[in-house]
């Protein structure tokens, strides 16, 4: 596995918060995670994660997800995992983020 591109894989990708488009994205904007704010801006509903086939297998979806969950946690937001990648892959692999999830018991103003 000694190739010239190993250095690039060792450096985590820079993830940018694109507040205007409600998404987190790689610098080249080709991989991204989209969300919608709900409940007066207190709940982040993650609706879609996309990584082009040419960039799959590099962990970009996970990096995007971590950036989104860190943002939610740092801004006191709850997360709804509508995206199947988040609910079926990311959260089972990263159960520590379950504490940030929106609770169905709190439906009061939703």
Contacts of 106 (CB under 8 A, 6+ apart): 78
Among candidate residues 51, 60, 83, 91, the one labeled active-site is 83
Nearest to 53 by CA among 32, 72, 31: 31
Q: Where are the beta strands (DSSP E) in the chain?
A: 15-18, 23-26, 32-38, 43-50, 78-81
Known catalytic membership, residue 83 = yes
Quote the Cα angle for 85-6-28, to 5°.
Answer: 55
Would you name the residues annotated as active-site residues? 83
């Amino acid at each position: 596995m000694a190739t010239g591109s190993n250095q690039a894989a060792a450096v985590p990708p820079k993830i940018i918060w694109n507040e205007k488009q409600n998404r987190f994205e790689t610098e080249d904007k080709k991989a991204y995670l989209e969300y919608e704010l709900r409940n007066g801006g207190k709940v982040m509903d993650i609706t879609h994660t996309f990584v082009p086939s040419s960039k799959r297998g590099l962990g970009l979806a996970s990096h995007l997800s971590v950036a989104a969950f860190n943002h939610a946690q740092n801004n006191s937001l709850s997360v709804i995992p509508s995206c199947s990648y988040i609910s079926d892959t990311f959260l089972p692999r990263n159960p520590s983020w379950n504490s940030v999830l929106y609770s169905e018991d709190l439906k009061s103003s939703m």
